[in-house]
Amino acid sequence: MCVEWRCRMAYRDYQHFLDVLASAGELKRITEPVSPHLEITEIADRVMKSGGPALLFENVVGPPPRIGTPDPTSAVMGRPSIHSAAAGGESRRYPMPVSINAMGSRKRMSMALSCDDYSEHAGRIAALLKPDVPKSPGEALKFAQRTFGELKDVPPKRVARGICQEVVLQGSEIDLTKLPVLTCWPEDGGPYVTLPMVFTHDPTTGRRNVGMYRVQVQGKDECGMHWQMHKTGMRHMEEAGSTGRRIDVAVALGGDPIYAFGAIAPLPPGIDEMLFCGFLRRQRVELVPCKTVDVAVPADCEIVIEGYVDPAERRLEGPFGDHTGYYSLAEEFPVLHVTAVTMREKPVYPATIVGRPPMEDGWMGKAVEQVFLPMIQLTVPEIVDINLPVEATFHNMAFVRIKKKYPGHAYKVMSAIWGLGGLAFTKFVFVFDEDCDVHDLAEVVFRIGANCDPGRDHLLTKGPVDQLDHASVQEGFGGKIGFDCTHKWPGENGFSRPYPKLITMADDVARKIDEMWPRLGL
């Protein structure tokens, strides 16, 4: 397999991805002794906000995390519990390096998706979803051949063994505190696995789901599983609970970085994340059966935590410094009982941190925004482009550019967005004309001020919001508002005044000055 990141080929494993980052000058190795308790976060946060490189901490040292039963009063109120107290005991060197910020720029996010720029995958998806009607048998054959070429290596396949099981720990050998799991922020309830792919199966249909849910280490073989009310993992657990069964779970770390993207991808119901990853990487995902649970995981992962969740059991989980920029407070969540930990012989521990943006997850979210735009357009074709601002943590705000066709069109688009998967959580929707660059904040603010009358051009409603939204009227439910920032048509929404034209220069003059510009010395 070639080393150049432009080669369009799948990565063998996570460490291959890190090698390619290094060869491209995108990885900085840190040999200074650094603790996973807060110190890695502080370094990574500074690097992320300055647009710095991926980091590989090769000398991870510090006392073991203090694990105990949280104080319910302090945890619920959001104050530090026993978990977040400074770890005590003799310092030790952790047996593996920690990788972070590996996808923390547009270039590295594109490299993680095996392409020059992640917008390429949007083009591939659009070509499959909205193909041109063939004008001849020859064109039809070419389309069929192209489609077959895109899809022939998509379905995942089972294999007997993988590097993720070179080391197998069971029973008394299991000790999650020996992993360099990060305690990210001072008031966190303990160390958290922050970049997991959590594998479960629907107990009725057997369909696989892969989601990214934070996992709190609460003991040597116990974890808090943060399945929010709207998440598929929670629905799987509830289905199992309705029949009195527990649910098998596997938490995978590492492997081709495309897997992490698949875990956060807002796929339509019924589309398997591992199948989608096979499409993106142009190569089947090889899955190996877990040792103690009925779940299969990518064979090239670095570390796998196997276990089960009893739907009837809950425990305080949190607080946690979240992507909202605030701590999410401690609440009752399911418990993962660990039955095995498997890993490669010399693993790297992949991690990320979340907090006040911008962070690494901002680039992961931007890739989701652009890659899935064709799927949004399949349902709402008048949408030309969309910007979910990183600063608004994506689910809070959307700037939408449309090809306006009739009076009130903006309101139709607002309602459509509030009915689309994860976009249903959007609290503020701003709709603009097709000549507005919604990725240019100066342009967006100009259009809002120029074209929107707050008393007339708004739509106020209610609906589901992100469970972590602490501003909502109740957990998971709150208000939403949309603003029509388009040029108004005669009679639209009671508008009867003449509408002025936007100031623009004549095209012929602009072209002449473009040609003249190099000679002006400006």
CB 418 within 8 A of CB 465: no
**Number of other CB atoms surrounding residue 347 within 10 Å:** 24
Q: Terminus-to-terminus CA distance in the chain, angstroms?
A: 48
Burial of 386 per CB tally in 10 Å (0-12, 13-18, 19+): buried
Here the tokens at position 356 are 């006040």
**CA-based angle 110:216:57, to the nearest 5?**
50
Alpha carbons 2 and 439: distance in angstroms, whole number: 35
Q: What is the DSSP string of 405-443?
A: -STTHHHHHHHHHTTSGGGGG-SEEEEE-TTS-TT-HHH
Residue 255: closest CA among 182, 342, 360, 152? 342
Alpha carbons 84 and 171: distance in angstroms, whole number: 27
CB 28 within 8 A of CB 51: no
If you ran DSSP here, which 8-state letter would residue 67 be given? -
The contacts of residue 376 (CB under 8 Å, 6+ apart) are 383, 386, 420, 423
440 catalytic per annotation: no
Choose, from 13, 272, 322, 469, the residue flagged as catalytic: 322
Q: What is the DSSP string of 322-387?
A: -TTSSEEPPEEE-EEEEEEEEE-SS--EE----SSSS-HHHHHHHHHHHHTHHHHHHHSTTEEEEE
Strands 247-253 and 208-211: unpaired
Residues with catalytic roles: 322
